[in-house]
Structure 1
């Protein structure tokens, strides 16, 4: 890109930053007798739209049966109201997937060490973008069982703990920490089923505290759309804006995830600016969420400063080729017993029998184990209600604070510090006895000997 082209490109972004355009999508109306279903091929090619409609994970009879079951839910939030077949799942749970945000946590280390307040936001927002490469996987993670946990203690000095703190509505809380930063999140997904696609709204609060300066960063991510759930090649897009605000100074970064247009135009592209507290642009950012992000100082018009160049700040790492579930090397790491901490909590996602059976390729056993876990969860709910009991999360506490988000209000959970005490106690105990983690029974249950 020439300097002249670059100048016009970024000036255009600055002058019309809220205009995302519209994604032009092909419709195959009446396809297989189902009116109104959109079948989109983001790679383009109008002539193969009907061929795309025939592709998918299921045989036609399975696909038809699923459609008959699901069409009544169009327009609804289907987060936890529908039992789904394991054939569309990946061997990972939602709270494990939360931990994937830690793959490029070194960017937060850089943000903490950086003295420039605007470059600090460049590094931190690049960290927030980095997870989208992993999130483009089209397999569905398992919904966590109430009380289920996931822990990680062996990545970049980071200790990570997440817990499913509510089942209706589904809510998770997470905490991560190393010598440079503290990360806290309360997450509640809201969905809208649209037939052959589903919109996912991240009703949550994410806070990062950088230890060197004490600044607190707040993150609001864009929504996500999963296309071609039933007919066609499933693919994920996240059109909209991501905003990260320095709550301490008022500086912020606003990044725009371009929607996928005709023949895939604009797909993956991210552009925006770091602004000071007076909303003046200081640094432009540009790149693709599946590839890399770069930055460059800019003037008050949003145009690159003369004599400066784009600087790459993040690039996606190499990934396994032809991986069955499109996993990154880091996804394999967080799913592995080999990298699990000693004395793993019995409530850990790795120990779920349905998840492990699916990882081993036994779909029949995975389906049976999934049904058994869900029935046990329902039995616990009945027992809890009959006795007037309440579920209390182990590692997180409900604060009583309700925070607004673009997609609804959120009750906020906070880390209570007990997990650090638990790990410290394990470290001081005799650890000479090795435990076979694979033989450990999955146990997130509130009641020990409840009959299902």
Structure 2
């Protein structure tokens, strides 16, 4: 049994600048296949319950995608947040790190929707990262990361809400817009500072130019230093002939006086600069090629330490089928995972039991949404590790 378990653990290369999926059929045919899924979907509908065939999946769970944005980096942007001397320098480092969590997304494909209780546990050096799926409908994921050496902590609760929009309803082209609800809290414990931030939206457009873009606004605040940033992410226009895809514009200012201190400009998939409004000095704070290109694939260091709930194990057979382009095997394995979850749900309902997360304390409020607290102060080292880029 142990041997079988090991062969089912599949860890695939991280999403990077060049992308991981090559559609041999080309965008037009993929577009037709994707649109076929929405024939009976009303405009404005929530898509969280839609089941995708395996041919539309990339070989990894959404939980892994969240985790990769933290532990898969070519340059340690998170560690830099903790070593800068002044509050403004640390704040700019946090802005740069927040930008680094954005990753390219390929048109027409999506990761697996994590099952309830699914986990993903990975270490990169002294940074230990643990994720758990605390709700399936609606899908809510929580990430807790700690680095005892750097003395920092990250808590990230995410609740994506994807909705389908028909061009007849909004005159903006047929599209899917995923609002990423929830907040991230980055604590720099050496300085007693907590940075609170949200995420931009993910926009998937089908007509007239197919593509996937990060759009909308992001806000970063640190109450201890009184600094705040507002970032705006731009994309293509409706016809795809105008706009500035991948662009970022923003300002860092004093929260109390609203006095602007720095201007932020650039592209999240290229470089981002910051301009000191007092001195006029401009410098690069983020270079995507250094951070999210040439990323290394995680590896299993301790197979016996991998939990049965680990994403790479839960979806291992599905990923194997996708990588081998054995769509029949992939679909069969995916249905088996989903049916097992339905059986567990029926069993809990028959016994009037309520499922509870193993690693987080969960709360929900209609106004503020989902919130979570970790049950442990520190995340333990993981059996799966990510090697440092040489």
TM range (shorter): 0.7 to 0.9
Say whether the 8 Å CA contact 1:180–1:212 is kept in structure 2. Answer: yes
Counterpart of 1:97 in structure 2 is: 65
Query: How many angstroms does 1:233 deviate by?
Result: 6.3
Query: How many angstroms does 1:396 deviate by?
Result: 1.1
Pick closer, same or farther for the CA change 1:279–1:156 going to 2, 3 Å: farther
Tell whether 2:318 aligns with 1:354: yes
Q: Which has the greater radius of gyration?
A: 1
Counterpart of 2:211 in structure 1 is: 235
Picking from 245, 257, 270, the partner of 1:267 is 245
Tell whether 2:380 aligns with 1:380: no
Say whether the 8 Å CA contact 2:186–2:195 is kept in structure 1. Answer: yes
Pick closer, same or farther for the CA change 1:109–1:413 going to 2, 3 Å: same
Tell whether 2:83 aligns with 1:83: no
Distance across 2 between alignment mates of 1:418 and 1:124: 22
Picking from 114, 117, 124, the partner of 2:94 is 124
Counterpart of 1:414 in structure 2 is: 373
State the TM-score, normalizing by the size of structure 2: 0.80
Identify the structure with bigger relative contact order (alpha carbons < 8 Å, sequence gap 6+): 2
Picking from 305, 311, 316, the partner of 2:283 is 311
Superposed CA deviations along residues 330-380 of structure 1, whole A, max 9, x for unmatched, are: 3x514xx44677611121111122123223332211111111111111111
State the TM-score, normalizing by the size of structure 1: 0.69
Picking from 284, 290, 306, the partner of 1:344 is 306
Superposed CA deviations along residues 174-222 of structure 1, whole A, max 9, x for unmatched, are: 1111124211011111121124421101111210001220200001222
Distance across 1 between alignment mates of 2:65 and 2:211: 18
Counterpart of 1:192 in structure 2 is: 163
Counterpart of 1:282 in structure 2 is: 261
Distance across 2 between alignment mates of 1:250 and 1:391: 40
Pick closer, same or farther for the CA change 1:147–1:240 going to 2, 3 Å: same
Tell whether 2:106 aligns with 1:165: no
Picking from 186, 198, 223, the partner of 1:220 is 198
Query: How many angstroms does 1:390 deviate by?
Result: 1.0
Gaps of 5+ in 1: 1-52, 300-304, 320-326, 427-434, 436-452
Aligned residues: 343
Picking from 402, 407, 420, the partner of 2:365 is 402
Gaps of 5+ in 2: 1-25, 167-173, 385-390
Say whether the 8 Å CA contact 2:145–2:379 is kept in structure 1. Answer: no
Give the match's secondary structure for 2:331: helix
Distance across 2 between alignment mates of 1:246 and 1:86: 42
Pick closer, same or farther for the CA change 1:418–1:393 going to 2, 3 Å: farther
Pick closer, same or farther for the CA change 1:401–1:118 going to 2, 3 Å: farther
Say whether the 8 Å CA contact 1:172–1:186 is kept in structure 2. Answer: yes
Query: How many angstroms does 1:401 deviate by?
Result: 5.9
Give the match's secondary structure for 2:218: strand
Pick closer, same or farther for the CA change 1:85–1:340 going to 2, 3 Å: farther
Say whether the 8 Å CA contact 1:149–1:162 is kept in structure 2. Answer: yes
Q: For residues 49-60 of structure 1, what are the structure 2 equivalents within 5 Å? A: 55-57=28-30
Structure showing the higher helix proportion among its residues: 1
Give the match's secondary structure for 1:366: helix
